[in-house]
Copies of this chain bind each other. A is one copy, B any other.
């Protein structure tokens, strides 16, 4: 490694620390800045969608759009440069989201409908947790995730039952009510059944016949009752999680998440607090 290469490596290393980690003051500031820009970019997309507002301030909005796009472009390139194996980032979930939320303005030169991609930007919000390194929240979120994960099979059975019920009841309502009341086809009747079963109840479609209203009442009471099932599942799972955590795992979970470092080689995060080597690829975490 000659001097030039060493310099470049040191520079890349520093960039990596700023962008991917939050140990240094610079890293923290970068994360806060990024968070603000993501929020701003989403507000911008929202404002653009309001016709009257867009008509008035189109030039300002477009300028702001360009500034944000350029910032995102620089960030995206910096992320690729500073990591040792760029494809690990590029083909990761966040890598794809970052890419998709950067390109729409460039695409608008070639394609008309690329505005659609602007909406992808909302997905960037998912990175907020990571950005803010909300240690405490991460712990809670992972607990929530764990509880939902381990009740996955039960929830699948539940959703499957709800869907079957909707198909059967929707078909029955289609046969009873007919087109005048808005039940124009079986799919639409199924849609209505889901609206009713989940107690949303828009009222755009509503039964008018006597038999239809009786069946609707049965569907409502069913829906009102079976909401107890996912609630029961998740509650029991939470209780188990809570018991487990109080027992033994509390500290370990906390520990894992306080370390904000990201491996430069394989992009893995959630290292232990006193980790020196990456738990995933075995490389040094802090090479000088």
**Bitwise interface map of A from 141 to 152 toward B, beta carbon under 8 Å scored 1, else 0:** 101100110000
**B46 pairs with A186, CB closer than 8 A:** yes
A238 CA to B126 CA in the complex, in Å? 30
Q: Report how many residues on chain A are interfacial, defined by Cβ distance under 8 Å.
A: 82
Question: What does DSSP make chain A's interface, helix, strand, loop or mixed?
Answer: helix
Number of copies: 4
Residues of B close to A51: CB separation below 8 A? 184-185
Contact A202-B199, Cβ < 8 Å, known A153-B137, A228-B235, A232-B234? no
Q: Chain B nearest CB: distance from A137 CB in Å?
A: 6
A125 interface residue per 8 A CB criterion:
yes
Contact A154-B140, Cβ < 8 Å, known A51-B184, A202-B203, A213-B188? yes
A216 interface residue per 8 A CB criterion:
yes
Residues of B close to A49: CB separation below 8 A? 174, 185-187
Residues of B close to A160: CB separation below 8 A? 128
Identity of the chain B residue whose Cβ is nearest the Cβ of A179 in the assembled complex: B51
Interface on A for B, CB 8 Å cutoff?
42, 45-46, 49-51, 116, 119, 122-123, 125-126, 128, 136-137, 139-141, 143-144, 147-148, 153-160, 162, 164, 167-168, 171-172, 174-175, 184-188, 190-191, 194-204, 206, 210, 213-214, 216-217, 220-221, 223-225, 227-240, 242
A206 CA to B200 CA in the complex, in Å? 11
A242 CA to B236 CA in the complex, in Å? 8
Residues of B close to A155: CB separation below 8 A? 225
Residues of B close to A187: CB separation below 8 A? 46, 49-50, 210, 213
Residues of B close to A234: CB separation below 8 A? 228-229, 231-232
Contact A154-B159, Cβ < 8 Å, known A167-B125, A201-B195, A202-B202? no
